[in-house]
Amino acid sequence: MKIGIAGCGGIGSNVAYHLIRSGIVKFKFGDYDVVEASNLNRQFFFYSQIGKAKALCLQENLLQINPKAIIQAEVIRFEKENIKSFFHDCDIIIEAFDLGEYKSMLIEEMMQTGKTIIAASGIADYDIEHLQIKKLNSQLYVVGDFSKGIENYPTYSHKVNMVAAMMARIVLDLGGYFEKTN
């Protein structure tokens, strides 16, 4: 199973971190942004990576965990014209964008492909009591509190990581990675 990740910031980098530590070894992801000091409180990057491309740094960090992983990383700005072709060979797509218009664009474009999409909505602020997973249809899952977006609230590592872990759980469940017990 190959996991596609659109955006390598707080959600994208941490979903990848959880998945590689859980045994997933095939990834394809992209982002156009660079690591900034302000990212280090909640993203899977390090001080020495400030100023470098997030996608390439995430690839480097994941390979430190599992050097045998097969990772395609690209510095790319996703648009309507390139998103379907970029993720054409992925089984599950993780939506990890900051901006609502990019979230909508990914969902609209990728729903046409029949691929499973796992998106985030409401990852900001510090409260975690209202985090939930909603299965909106057979191919779309959304994780978050559905109310506190980054445009109005600060982000904190514990909440971002909880949402990322919940998204990773969906991937692992869909991929049959859990041992079934009685």
Q: How far is CA 53 from CA 63, 74, 117, in A?
A: 16, 9, 24
pLDDT digits (tens, 9 = 90+) for 40-91: 999 999 999 999 999 999 999 999 999 999 999 999 999 999 999 999 999 9
DSSP state of 182: -
Decide if 94 contacts 74 (C-beta within 8 A). Answer: no
Nearest to 168, CA basis, from 4, 22, 15: 15
* Residues recorded for the chain: 182
CATH number of 2-174: 3.40.50.720
| pTM score of the predicted model | 0.95
Q: Domains of the chain: which residue ranges?
A: 2-174
pLDDT digits (tens, 9 = 90+) for 87-144: 999 999 999 999 999 999 999 999 999 999 999 999 999 999 999 999 999 999 999 9
Decide if 40 contacts 49 (C-beta within 8 A). Answer: no
DSSP state of 153: S
Q: How far is CA 92 from CA 61, 85, 87, 129, 157, in A?
A: 21, 14, 9, 27, 24
Euclidean distance between CA atoms 116 and 88, whole angstroms: 12
| DSSP per-residue string spanning 56-71 | HHHHHHHHHH-TT-EE
Euclidean distance between CA atoms 30 and 59, whole angstroms: 10
Euclidean distance between CA atoms 50 and 91, whole angstroms: 31
